[in-house]
Amino acid sequence: MLKVIIADDERLICRLVQALGDWEALDMEVAGLAENGLEALELIERERPDILITDIRMPGCDGLELIRRAKELRPELEIVIISGYAHFEYAQTAIRYGVGNYLLKPIKKDELMETLRKMKERCEERTAGREVGEARYKKSQNDLKRLRNSLIDDLMSAQPPVLTNQILKETYYFDFSEGQAFLVKLDCRAGAFGNSAEVVREKVQEILNAGLKGLCSDVIFCFRRLIRGYGPFKLRLRQKRTGEKGIPLLPGTA
């Protein structure tokens, strides 16, 4: 549900706008009314609204100053200016701040509703675009994580690849610098964390990443379940010799 703040130094105008809007039909709610710019700024900070409907002339902090400061707080805030003909030049100035919506007094219900519908569409388009972008980023990060983790599998294969810095960068997306390499091996007993194993792995990775930041050019994380007495390389050899497709694994990580 979208949040709306209404600001006008005439309380009657605030109430009128609130009464004219069919907020439920638009899936909106009026989160607060303000009688001056300072009150409006406090509401914006507290309520984090999606839409601001404001008079262009108010005491304390006029509409133009309110718009400027509101945009600093909420860059994506949709703003509607309420203006009388006598103050229309102020509305033109506000347009330079990126405000593209204004209503002339006396306010009419159909004009208010049409303006609100347009702003709702813009808010929804922006949200949808953000969600698509986040989904794509998450997928790319997961794909990258799988690709980087495949380096360990390839190194432990029966015929490990010959690696150069160029191959590491282009194939596995690692950026190693010349110097020493360190191996840190963490063991835990089978089933120690149960269904929380994935959470524990993520936390371990987060802690190590933070601790090693600035000390290492890159870090590889590899979590594996091991068969008692068999490392991954020995297991592959056993399967190759015996033709086994797989052996039941014991829960545990290393």
In this predicted model, what pLDDT tens digit does every residue of 67-85 receive, in sequence order? 889 989 999 999 988 877 6
Q: Indicate if the pLDDT at residue 248 is higher than 50.
A: no
Distance (Å, rounded) from C-alpha 153 to C-alpha 138?
23
Per-residue pLDDT, 33 = 96
Residue 115 in contact with residue 103, Cβ under 8 Å?
yes
Q: Where does CATH 3.40.50.2300 sit in the chain?
A: 2-131
Fold exhibited by the domain 2-131 = Rossmann fold (3.40.50)
Distance (Å, rounded) from C-alpha 221 to C-alpha 225?
14
The kind and range of the H/E element at 73 are helix 63-73
Q: Tell me the CA distances in angstroms from 230 to 80, 167, 225, 227, 239, one per residue in order.
A: 68, 30, 10, 5, 11
| 3-class SS of residue 198 | helix
Distance (Å, rounded) from C-alpha 5 to C-alpha 15?
12
Q: Please give the residue that has the higher pLDDT: either 231 or 166.
A: 166
Q: What is the mean pLDDT of the chain?
A: 78
Per-residue pLDDT, 162 = 75
Q: Indicate if the pLDDT at residue 214 is higher than 90.
A: no
Q: How far apart are the first and last CA of the chain?
A: 46
Q: Indicate if the pLDDT at residue 191 is higher than 90.
A: no
The whole-angstrom distance between residue 17's C-alpha and the CA centroid of its chain comes to 33
Q: Indicate if the pLDDT at residue 160 is higher than 80.
A: no
Percentage of residues in the chain having pLDDT higher than 70: 74
Per-residue pLDDT, 22 = 94
Q: Tell me the CA distances in angstroms from 102 to 41, 79, 82, 98, one per residue in order.
A: 19, 8, 6, 12
- The DSSP-derived string for 126-177 is HHHHHHHHHHHHHHHHHHHHHHHHHHHHHHTSSSPPP--HHHHHHHH-----
Q: Indicate if the pLDDT at residue 129 is higher than 80.
A: yes
Min mean pLDDT across 29-43, 47-61, 199-213 is at 199-213
Count of all residues that appear for the chain in the document: 254
Per-residue pLDDT, 151 = 76
What is the number of H-type helices and E-type strands within the chain? Answer: 8, 5
